[in-house]
Amino acid sequence: MLHAKPCFYCVILITSSFISSCYWQPFSLDTPLTSPWTENVITYSGALTASLSSLPHRAQMPVTIRAVDRCWCDLSSGAFFEPFNISRWEHDTINRLKDDLEHQWKAEYANATNSITQMNEDFSSSDTSRNIMESVWFMITRSSSEPGEPSPAVADPFMNDYAMPDAEARYSLFRQQYALRRYGVDMRIDFSWSDSK
């Protein structure tokens, strides 16, 4: 009686293809949801905005979203032969980004509050006007002679993908960047360049 023995390389190939299929590349927040949450919430951006409790003034919103990793065959769910719940996957993805953004905003708020408190303590400790002038002079000379330390940043994989809304740059005659997403092409043309020689 013959027994089939899988070759070592076939097992490695199947295992590596299984593991590599679990990663999902970040995609644009303007991507439509597979099933809209409500009549007005049809994209990931709309779902993120709807799920955020409160937006800080001048909040930086990400341009891309990184999906929660899922494999083409999910062995951990116990429903191996059942269809994958894509709506739950989208909810989990948006909730993870929402939690990351709220954590980042709280850290930025705490950092700003601590720096304001520190400045207030520095100025309230000196009572006379001479001490205040000396403190101001010391702060000016220190900031001009020493390069400022970068503020501690919260680890975020999308930090380079943030964009601040700028109406002047968006509506100028010649823009530095053109997004072709609305024309059906997931591409951005960038005409900016540096003057470094």
H helix or E strand, kind and range, residue 189: strand 188-190
pTM above 0.75, yes or no: no
Measured distance CA(120)–CA(118) in Å, rounded: 5
Poorest-pLDDT segment among 15-24, 147-156, 183-192: 147-156
Q: Does residue 158 carry a pLDDT above 50?
A: no
Measured distance CA(35)–CA(70) in Å, rounded: 18
Per-residue model confidence as pLDDT tens digits over 44-101: 888 888 888 777 666 678 888 888 877 666 666 666 666 777 888 889 999 999 898 8
Give the distance from CA 176 to its chain's centroid.
22
What band does 126 get if pLDDT is binned at 50, 70 and 90? Answer: very low
Question: Which whole-number Å values give the CA distances from 178 to 31, 101, 188, 197, in the listed order?
Answer: 18, 26, 6, 26
pLDDT, residue 160, reads 46
More confident residue, 168 or 27: 27
Mean pLDDT (the chain) is 72
Indicate if the alpha-carbon torsion angle 192, 67, 53, 42 is positive or negative.
positive
